[in-house]
Structure 1
Amino acid sequence: MPHAPRFTGPSDLHLHSSHSDGTEPPAEVMAAAHRYGLRTAALTDHDTTSGWAEAAEAATSLGMTFVPGMELSARHRWRSVHLLAYLVDPDDPALRAMTDRIRSSRVDRAQIMAERISHDYDIAWADIVAQTGDGATVGRPHIADALVARGIVVDRTEAFAGILHPAGDYYVALYAPDPVAAVELIVGAGGVPIIAHPAGRALLPDSVLQAMLDAGLAGFEIAHRENLPEPTALLARLAAERDLIVTGSSDYHGLGKPNLPGENTTADDMVARIFARGRGTAPVHP
């Protein structure tokens, strides 16, 4: 059944907690969203819904509407593609099997990368595990945090620009499904799929975008600090022509990135369309 929209004020639909690669627990993420004036917020940790309960309780206690979400990993050839999955059923068997597989791949790749890095830098696997929060799957951001803690780099930005860069000798690719398959998984779980920060270095090929739209892709995260002007304009035109959902979000990671809650927001009518389309779970109202 459609979920009637009941929300007021700005909406930020892309925030991360320590259950993936953010630096704050879900409750603190919602508290930060509230401090920045948000009244609707989504938790979209990578490939996990484990922070939903804590985030929902914190958000509603602050008078905010909580939108259950997740950022599902996908891959097209060399390119990582992230799909924001709103209002999915967290117990859908196919989606759960895929996220379990992706998280397992994250651990495997992190261990291999850590072993490679340790040949050249004074860092051990225990240093990396120490940077993970409760319930979090270890990943590249935690390797970056360990490198910072050991004084090898200044911050995550330096780590990702150098030691952890995909073109570097230490990098290991993450297993992830094809973007079309990822869209199908989200739709099959009753969710609403939106491509996160889709207009960065290069757009997906038209043929891939069309296949994703045919599979049920709902729209694009148009307002995001990593999107570039020209490809953003192209996607905005496509969204207008196809009457797609467009969102704006911060991609907040606590201290992990400079992004701040509410630096980009989603219009109320677009939030309402997400609520109406989602079938897997419901937004949580105060």
Structure 2
Amino acid sequence: MMAQYDLHTHSTASDGTLTPTALVDLAVEAGVDVLALTDHDTTEGLAEAAVAAADRSIHLVTGVEISVTWGAQVVHIVGLGFDPADKALQAGLAGLREFRHWRAKEIGRRLSKKGIDGAYEGAKALSNGRLISRTHFARFLVANGYSTDMKKVFKHYLTTGKPGHVSGEWAELGQAVEWINNAGGEAVIAHPARYSMTRSKLRRLIGEFQEAGGVALEVVSSSHSRDEIFTMARHAKEHSLLASVGSDYHGPETPWANLGRLSALPDQIRPIWDNWTIAAETDSA
């Protein structure tokens, strides 16, 4: 029996709503054999998740999702299997979190100018207090009646040209890949279809990503349609990239991103775990 992988998930260490321990428990319940915790710009939840995984029948892969500015667009790079103690990686992530802190206060100021008071304090109360994301603001706005659901609140308040939008200058693409590689990990372009890039632009992104040392494309994602999965599989094959899978799970509030419930990888592409020791152990169990 083939092992079940979910290599893109979030916890309360960033903008998920389950603690790392609760996430691991749910992954076991969902039949996941290999889990990666990939919180935004932090590895804070990995130690707790590792303790939880050690007591359960599941393998934990170290992970992180790094925010990157590429071509005036924000893209996300997932790092897998690295050493969380790497100093350069942690210094880079710390810089991104400092920007997140400034951005959160600025979002609060801009929303206040539009008559929405207490947004920063409300978002902070919904977070761990150390990493405040746009998702926390969105939850505050929904809870206080400014919108009926998360997708609408992003559309009307938090995207380009809207009251709470703040442009970000994140890590450079090559910089993020370098942090991951130097820490002994593998870099993956997260949910590539979600960026709505033209084919030529996506090819440019992939080309620069490969030149920097990136090795994989997240082919299967909860945000990818069946057609998008096969399109991303063709890109992976064409560029000789490995293929990854991930739900991008944030919590039970997002039922379209179910933990571990992922489509199988299309044939003729090589999974990122192909040479992982845990892959051999899990598939033979």
TM-score where L is the length of structure 2: 0.86
In 2, are the aligned partners of 1:12 and 1:250 still within 8 Å (CA)?
yes
Task: Indicate yes or no: 2:87 matched with 1:89.
Answer: no
SS of the residue corresponding to residue 254 of structure 1 reads coil
Deviation string 1:154-204 (CA, Å, 9 cap, x unpaired) is 232221121112231321122312212221221122110011001221154
Q: Sort the Cα spacing of 1:168 and 1:179 in 2 relative to 1 into closer, same or farther, 3 A.
A: same
Shift of 1:255: 3.5
Separation in 1 of the partners of 2:240 and 2:205?
18
Shift of 1:241: 3.6
Q: Which residue of 2 aligns with 1:130?
A: 125
Shift of 1:147: 1.2
Q: How many residue pairs were aligned? A: 272
Q: Sort the Cα spacing of 1:87 and 1:117 in 2 relative to 1 into closer, same or farther, 3 A.
A: same
SS of the residue corresponding to residue 276 of structure 2 reads helix
Shift of 1:228: 5.3
Q: Which residue of 1 aligns with 2:157?
A: 163
Separation in 1 of the partners of 2:80 and 2:172?
19
Task: Indicate yes or no: 2:99 matched with 1:113.
Answer: no
Deviation string 1:210-262 (CA, Å, 9 cap, x unpaired) is 12112211110011132356665443223224432111211100035221111
SS of the residue corresponding to residue 162 of structure 1 reads helix
Separation in 2 of the partners of 1:131 and 1:34?
26
TM-score where L is the length of structure 1: 0.86
Separation in 2 of the partners of 1:16 and 1:265?
19
SS of the residue corresponding to residue 89 of structure 2 reads helix
Separation in 2 of the partners of 1:33 and 1:19?
17
Higher relative contact order (CA 8 A, sep 6+): 1
Deviates more, 1:226-235 or 1:180-189: 226-235
Q: Which residue of 2 aligns with 1:41?
A: 35
Shift of 1:133: 2.3
Task: Indicate yes or no: 2:215 matched with 1:218.
Answer: yes
Deviates more, 1:38-47 or 1:199-208: 199-208
Q: Sort the Cα spacing of 1:20 and 1:182 in 2 relative to 1 into closer, same or farther, 3 A.
A: same
Separation in 1 of the partners of 2:8 and 2:64?
9
Q: Note the residue ranges of structure 1 that are not aligned, 5 or more in a row.
A: 1-6, 277-286
Q: Sort the Cα spacing of 1:133 and 1:255 in 2 relative to 1 into closer, same or farther, 3 A.
A: farther
SS of the residue corresponding to residue 163 of structure 1 reads helix
